[in-house]
Structure 1
Amino acid sequence: MLRSLFTGVTGLKQFQTKMDVVSNNIANVDTTGFKRGRAMFADLFSETIRHGQQSFGDFGSQNPMQIGLGTKIASIDTIMTQGKIENTGRDNDIAIEGDGFFMVKGFDSNIYYTRDGNLNVSDSHDLIMTNTGSKIQGWSAMQDPRTGNLEMRETDVVPYDINIARYLKKHAHQTNEITYSCNLQSSSPDRDIEFGVETLTFIDSADQKQDLRFKFKKLDAENWLWTAHDDTEGNVATGTLKCDEDGTVLESTVEPAGLTSTLSAPYFTYDPDGNPQPGSATMPINKVTNQGNGLSSGVTVSGNLVKDETVEIIFDGGDPTRAVSYRVVGSERGFIHSGTLGGTQARFAGDPVTFGLSWTPAANTSFTVTDSQFAVPRTATVSFVGGTTYTASEIVDTINNALANDGVRATAYFDAVTSQLQIVSNEIGERQNLTIGGAIGNFADLGLTAGTQVGTGAGKAEVYSDLAMSAAFAADNVDVTADVQLVVTDRHGRAATIEFPDIVAGVNQIYSRGAILAEINSQLVANNVSANAAFLDTDNDGSPDQLMISSNVPGSGERVILTGTNIDQLGLAGGSYSGTAAVSHFEYGGLTFDLTEGTNHWLPNESLSFVTTAEKGAASSVNIYVPQPGTKKMAFATNVNNHEYKIEGAVSKGAQHKTNIVIYDSLGTPHGMVTTWEHTDKTKHEWTYKMSYSPDDPEILAWLKDPANNILDPESPTDEELERANDSLITDRTGKMYFQNDGKIDVARSYIPSFSLQPRGSNPLKIDLATDLITQFDSQFTTKAENQDGYAMGLLQKIYFEEDGVVRGVYSNGQKQPIAQLAIATFNNPEGLEKKGNNLYAFAPGSGLAVVSRAGVGLAGKVVANSLEMSNVDLSQEFTDMIVTQRAFQANSRVITTSDELLQELVNLKR
């Protein structure tokens, strides 16, 4: 009976222990990071009454007979399941979602582990557990020596106390880059010159009203071309203006310049009389007489000029050996005329037609065009059918087809702008004559006038066969009947001898056109003779039939001398053949000028001057002063009888857009910075930008108050004074931005330098501009300075935690930076840790060594900020366990009382 008594006692003891575990769980149901316990039972040693036996013979097996002696506690486990995470809203509360423990150092300098993330910062700036003061372990951020930024760089060393004392202040950082974004409006107006009135009106010395009109053409964002016109002479002067981004004139030129005009004070002289009164002229005072084959390179003057006026012809352009154009300038009139040297084409330029886009002649219409450059002139007949409608292009095609069919070397054109029909010879020179005749029907509708037009100058010396010999080449070859020797000499005296023998080695020779040309031209080239040979199609049948030898260069000085024996068999005639002179004509004041270009061409910068002997008109010439360098307000002005007349204008700014941003110097001092964009050239997609301090910035105010800068009223500076201040304080403050046709910035063409400044007491600043995100579309201005990377000094205001365990500080200057990294420890058997109270665990042999890492690395869970991990105790389960424990305890006590009653019955047997 005693076995059951003691067995019941073991049950009472073990269920009492289990009740202790359950009660501890319930007691810690609200303990942060608490992990519930669990009591597990095992039976005690059993008394064996009979051992088991195996079967043998007719006897079956027998099971052992054993009586258990009770129970014991096998283990009390710590259940490390995840507790629910509760958001607390407190910055210093953290929890671990997943495996792992925070590491802390106790007062005994030992390392403990906890899931309790209720943290705080001590008075010595250590990160600690709130309930114990134990110091949180981890790693501090280190400063990158290159960038100055804080980085986590020591997470592979043994963790140590996290102390944030050296992170309580964040040093100021100077601005190194400004970033822009958004749009500049493509359709906004661009920079240009604006004059309220563009006509300079004045009363001349003869008391007559004069109007001089000025026109402007924009070349680019900084340069303009201007011209001056009057009612009688047309263009009387021209010039250029170059301005800076503020509209100040940098350079001003004028052509023709006045007698004493300078780069710093430009003007031109204008004669308000228009064409001067007739007079007589002297011979040129420096006439050039370059001889060329009996022709002179010079100017023939006939007619009259103006008294006391010097007329100068100036030759320009071309290569150093030959001028190609000329200008005529009068000392009284100023610019008179300009033209080109060399020959011209024969040209019929009709009057503007009135039939619009099509013409329907009322009757059959025809006319002839005769080309007189051939020994036998060629005539083409052009015909139009009455009642048929012809477009402008069909009119031109009809004429050109007729010209081509009859071998006339000319081309018809229709100018759609002026509505003029033109017929032009295909080559220049005095031989290129065209004649229109035989007009029938509605010829006048075409605007053309019957008659002859003649080309001028530039003719080459040409030698060709008589037309009677043209049949010699009809079959593409010639059979000479005697040896032919041909000698060609050019104007330099260089000669080439070409031979065509009749019989070679007893064989009769027949020469094709190609063989003749090849032999002649190869010898001309070999002997450096300035001439060449070619065949002409004189009858326009598609088969060349006439041999021609000509000089390579046009002009009166050109010559080809032809000699030899039996050359008539090639249709050639001996002799000396000269080119024609290049003559240019113009008239001025009753005077006719004929410019003849001889052998030695006019050279650039050569000139001829003429003087006059007759009376001038009544009105005196006036000097017209053009915009002067160094001025913003442009003016064209003159003074007549002490009365000033002028018109004024200025460069009008293009559309502007501004954006402001605060930057910081090396001391953390803020400075207002303004970026201003101006649309400078719409055709080139060009924008100019300028960097400026805000007008109220301390650097600007200090500069304005500095006596050395001579500011009259520093409290109310002018725009020009503010510009001076910014130019003095900021280097490379301007740049240019260009955009592509798709609205994106053209980086290759753009000039966007880093600008520099050095506020007082600060290190120098060099600031880059990031403009990649700026576009130019036809939308509203939205471009702004989006960001800059500088900041003032800041004080630590709070810390917060990121899920990787980084402790980041938030500073009063709006900056954030990492200051520490929490260490997370994981174990192979976390249930083997020993509880040390205060929510702490300690290493035990059964737990295994701690594996230390950052949160989220390996088995370590992630950190949840502003939250705490709740206890993982489940009350419903604990109450159930408590009921089971209570009933088991009652049952074991009933075993004891029953065993006692049995003993009592046994004692009562002796009664």
Structure 2
Amino acid sequence: MAGFNTAVTGLKAATTDLDVTGNNIANSSTVGFKASRTEFGDIYTTAVVGAGSSNVPGSGVTVTDIAQDFSGGTVEFTNNNLDLAINGGGFFQLDDGQGGKSYSRAGAFELDKDGFVVSKTGEYLQGYQLDEAGNRLPIDNLAVTERESPPKATEEMALAINIDSRADASQLLPAYNKDEPGSYTYSTTMEAVDSLGNSNTIKYNFVEQRPVKEVHTFDVSGAGNYTISGVTVADTDFTAGQISAVKLDELKAADPRIFNVTTDTTAAPNTVSVIFSSDSTQYGDLIASNGTAALTNEVVSEITAAEQHTFDFSAAGFGPGYAGATTVEFEISGVQFSFDASTADITAEDVANEIIAKRTAIIDANPNVDSITYDSTNNQLLVTYKPEAGDVTDDNLDLVFLSGTNAFAGTPAAVTNVIGPDATVDGDDSFEGTYRMYAYLNQDTILTIGKQPDPGSGLNLPEVGAILIKYSPNDGTLAEINGQTVTPGSVVPSITVEGADPANGATTIDLSLDNSTQFASDSIVKQSTQDGYSKGDLVGISFGSTGEMIASFSNGQNQALGIVAIATFENQSGLQPAGDTQWVESLSSGQAIVNPPGTGLNGTLRSAALEQSNVDLSEQLVKLIEAQRNFQANSKTLETLNTVTQAILQI
């Protein structure tokens, strides 16, 4: 009877099913394990063509395949960064060190004594090596090749601050001193690392320009022609002590700091005074000579940047004794004044006091006016403007007669700009929003930060000293850095800091002040970064989602050492199991296609995670019952056939 063979094939198939199911259950906790299932096919006896009948019984069952289920297992997170899981398709490629390649989903890796990343069975994890520029090299064994991170000197700094625009520069001490906080507006300190990894500090001091102008006065007695910043100046260039506009323009072209030049030849010694603009560096060097030797007896002083206009009342007055004047009316900026001089003389001081009594109304009509005072000694009415008003026109406060006789000396005296009884100078608002910026290494050594040589010095390289930082008085944003204009929306010019690396004098730092402002709020640091770091030791390895193997060092630096390779196959079901949750390629699977994670069909990588077995234990237990039932049923077939055979033998 053919039924005996049929039953035997059923028993064999059921036994194989039991074996496969039992193996799945046994590996339900194996990392990276993929469950298998038994696939069956029926058996029919073949016949010669044209012979026999289609009504033939089958010959049993056969196991056509033990197919693997490559669906992903549950990913569980661990505390080991060398535990890797593939979130998607693909396999880790492993090398046994003798040219044999295998593939696995089990990502429990570790470092061997030589720093190579290996599996639990000692195979080397494959990946792309990286050159110094980060370019991928051919696939090889991944290894931790860097055990320490060498120091890097600071080469770039970014400092963004807000300086309170409400700070009053006039309250600063006149002489700047880095050790005297009252002489600068704001200060902040940043770390800088030298070429040997030593940590240093760079202190930046910001000194708001005070509303004063600097005056350099030289004795030019007997000098004849002399030079200022290389420009020849003669007595004939002055009229009433004021230099000609043409010569002043020539001097400003030679030295942009110059605001005005005056001379005094009425007393000995004869002097020439060079007035710097309010935003010039305090006590800057000025080159002046008589052609062969430097001029001597230089006096450096300061004058206010505020403009003063004076009305000369020294010969003023009216009344019965003044050409019969009776009633005099005049106005200043719309504020009217009237005097009845029919019975008594009106003195200059009477007029001045009346004007001062109404100074509030005059100031309200002229917001740029700061004060109105009377100098009784010199019979002068002084109108002082706010420094930020800059150069005010001479007719800003016209005195207009409405009626009566003009009894003032000449006309209402030509308005002049008076600083002291004899000197005259225009107002200057160039100081607004202007700061001198200094830099010091370790609180002590002043650094070169790009200060251009003073005109006429003959130097070409930047000098040690302060540079000018300017903010727009309109919106508080950066307007100028060290002479370079900052255009809104454009790249902010950087500052080159020299001498901040004691170990290597050739090191320079590129300092950016982008996003610095001058708003009416507290002075604060908004951003402070630098790219230097000290020497560091290896503290750990981690992996990115796209496969980068990152070494972390104790100095906070990270370095990419390689990229994990992920292999895919045209037919992954054709892979041959090799044990230890590994597979090898076969003719059916095709050759491995290797790429970094996250590209093509490759999944991404998860560090500190392991993919668990994809075995569903409850499902396998049900299959176990089914396989047991099939085995028992085939055993019953044998038993029945045996009974039938015995019955035949007893006939």
| Alpha-carbon distance, 1:850 to partner | 0.6
Candidates 73, 96, 100, aligned match of 2:90 = 100
Instruction: Summarize deviations over 1:180-238 as a string: whole Å, max 9, x none.
Output: 12422122122578799xxxxxxxxxxxxxxxxxxxxxxx948945xxxxxxxxxxxxx
Letter in 2 for 1:448: G
CA RMSD of aligned residues (A): 4.6
Are 1:421 and 1:447, in contact at CA under 8 Å, matched by a contact in 2? no
Residue 17 of structure 2 aligns to a residue in which SS?
helix
| Alpha-carbon distance, 1:90 to partner | 1.5
| Alpha-carbon distance, 1:421 to partner | 2.6
Whether 2:113 is the aligned partner of 1:134: answer no
Are 2:332 and 2:399, in contact at CA under 8 Å, matched by a contact in 1? no
Are 2:329 and 2:339, in contact at CA under 8 Å, matched by a contact in 1? no
CA separation of 1:318/1:723 partners in 2, compared to 1, >3 Å: closer, same or farther?
closer
Instruction: Summarize deviations over 1:359-388 as a string: whole Å, max 9, x none.
Output: 9999xxxxxxxxxxxxxxxxxxxxxxxxxx
- Structure 2 spans left out of the alignment, 5+ residues: 176-207, 227-238, 248-261, 273-309, 311-324, 341-361, 363-393, 415-420, 451-461, 487-492
Instruction: Summarize deviations over 1:43-79 as a string: whole Å, max 9, x none.
Output: 11247799899xxxxxxxxx93111111110110011
CA separation of 1:781/1:64 partners in 2, compared to 1, >3 Å: closer, same or farther?
same
CA separation of 1:113/1:763 partners in 2, compared to 1, >3 Å: closer, same or farther?
farther
Distance 2:529 2:447 in 1: 27
Bigger radius of gyration: 1
Partner of residue 891, structure 1: 633
CA separation of 1:112/1:51 partners in 2, compared to 1, >3 Å: closer, same or farther?
same
Distance 1:128 1:850 in 2: 20
Candidates 257, 261, 266, aligned match of 1:329 = 266
Partner of residue 498, structure 1: none
Whether 2:460 is the aligned partner of 1:746: answer no
Letter in 1 for 2:121: T
- 1:668-747 maps to which residues of 2 (within 5 A)? 684-695=432-443, 732=464, 734-740=466-472, 741-747=474-480
- 1:76-475 maps to which residues of 2 (within 5 A)? 76-129=66-119, 131-144=120-133, 151-154=134-137, 157=138, 159-165=139-145, 167-190=146-169, 221=209, 224=212, 241-242=214-215, 251-252=216-217, 317-318=243-244, 329=266, 352=330, 357=335, 420-422=399-401, 446=402, 448-449=404-405
Whether 2:34 is the aligned partner of 1:35: answer yes
Residue 102 of structure 1 aligns to a residue in which SS?
strand
Partner of residue 840, structure 1: 582
Whether 2:606 is the aligned partner of 1:864: answer yes
Letter in 2 for 1:772: D
Are 2:89 and 2:603, in contact at CA under 8 Å, matched by a contact in 1? yes
- 1:538-617 maps to which residues of 2 (within 5 A)? none
Whether 2:547 is the aligned partner of 1:805: answer yes
Letter in 1 for 2:20: V
Instruction: Summarize deviations over 1:635-674 as a string: whole Å, max 9, x none.
Output: xxxxxxxxxxxxxxxxxxxxxxxxxxxxxxxxxxxxxxxx
Residue 647 of structure 2 aligns to a residue in which SS?
helix
| Alpha-carbon distance, 1:5 to partner | 2.1
CA separation of 1:84/1:782 partners in 2, compared to 1, >3 Å: closer, same or farther?
same
The farther-off stretch of 834-843 and 63-72 is 63-72
| Alpha-carbon distance, 1:153 to partner | 2.7
Residue 75 of structure 1 aligns to a residue in which SS?
strand
Candidates 859, 868, 876, aligned match of 2:618 = 876
Residue 118 of structure 2 aligns to a residue in which SS?
strand
CA separation of 1:870/1:450 partners in 2, compared to 1, >3 Å: closer, same or farther?
closer
Are 1:826 and 1:860, in contact at CA under 8 Å, matched by a contact in 2? yes
CA separation of 1:253/1:693 partners in 2, compared to 1, >3 Å: closer, same or farther?
same
Q: How many residue pairs align between the two structures? A: 453
- 1:609-628 maps to which residues of 2 (within 5 A)? none
CA separation of 1:790/1:887 partners in 2, compared to 1, >3 Å: closer, same or farther?
same
CA separation of 1:253/1:784 partners in 2, compared to 1, >3 Å: closer, same or farther?
farther
The farther-off stretch of 770-779 and 731-740 is 731-740
Are 1:93 and 1:866, in contact at CA under 8 Å, matched by a contact in 2? yes
CA separation of 1:224/1:734 partners in 2, compared to 1, >3 Å: closer, same or farther?
closer
| Alpha-carbon distance, 1:315 to partner | 7.1
Distance 1:822 1:450 in 2: 98
| Alpha-carbon distance, 1:764 to partner | 2.1
Distance 2:332 2:439 in 1: 58
CA separation of 1:790/1:819 partners in 2, compared to 1, >3 Å: closer, same or farther?
same
Distance 2:270 2:99 in 1: 107
Instruction: Summarize deviations over 1:127-173 as a string: whole Å, max 9, x none.
Output: 111x20111111222113xxxxxx1432xx3x1111223x1122211
Letter in 2 for 1:26: I
| Alpha-carbon distance, 1:109 to partner | 2.8
CA separation of 1:52/1:189 partners in 2, compared to 1, >3 Å: closer, same or farther?
farther
Distance 1:355 1:768 in 2: 53
What's the TM-score, normalizing by structure 2? 0.61
CA separation of 1:76/1:195 partners in 2, compared to 1, >3 Å: closer, same or farther?
closer
Instruction: Summarize deviations over 1:565-587 as a string: whole Å, max 9, x none.
Output: xxxxxxxxxxxxxxxxxxx9xxx
Distance 2:263 2:124 in 1: 96
Distance 1:45 1:173 in 2: 78
CA separation of 1:195/1:224 partners in 2, compared to 1, >3 Å: closer, same or farther?
closer
The farther-off stretch of 758-767 and 10-19 is 758-767
CA separation of 1:788/1:893 partners in 2, compared to 1, >3 Å: closer, same or farther?
same
Partner of residue 7, structure 1: 6
Residue 66 of structure 1 aligns to a residue in which SS?
coil
Partner of residue 345, structure 2: none
CA separation of 1:83/1:725 partners in 2, compared to 1, >3 Å: closer, same or farther?
closer
Residue 818 of structure 1 aligns to a residue in which SS?
strand
| Alpha-carbon distance, 1:108 to partner | 3.7
Distance 2:515 2:332 in 1: 55
Distance 1:763 1:328 in 2: 51
Instruction: Summarize deviations over 1:85-134 as a string: whole Å, max 9, x none.
Output: 111122111100111111111144311111111011110111111x2011
Instruction: Summarize deviations over 1:528-550 as a string: whole Å, max 9, x none.
Output: xxxxxxxxxxxxxxxxxxxxxxx
Distance 1:354 1:767 in 2: 57
Letter in 2 for 1:34: F
Candidates 781, 784, 788, aligned match of 2:523 = 781
Residue 68 of structure 1 aligns to a residue in which SS?
coil
Distance 1:184 1:734 in 2: 17
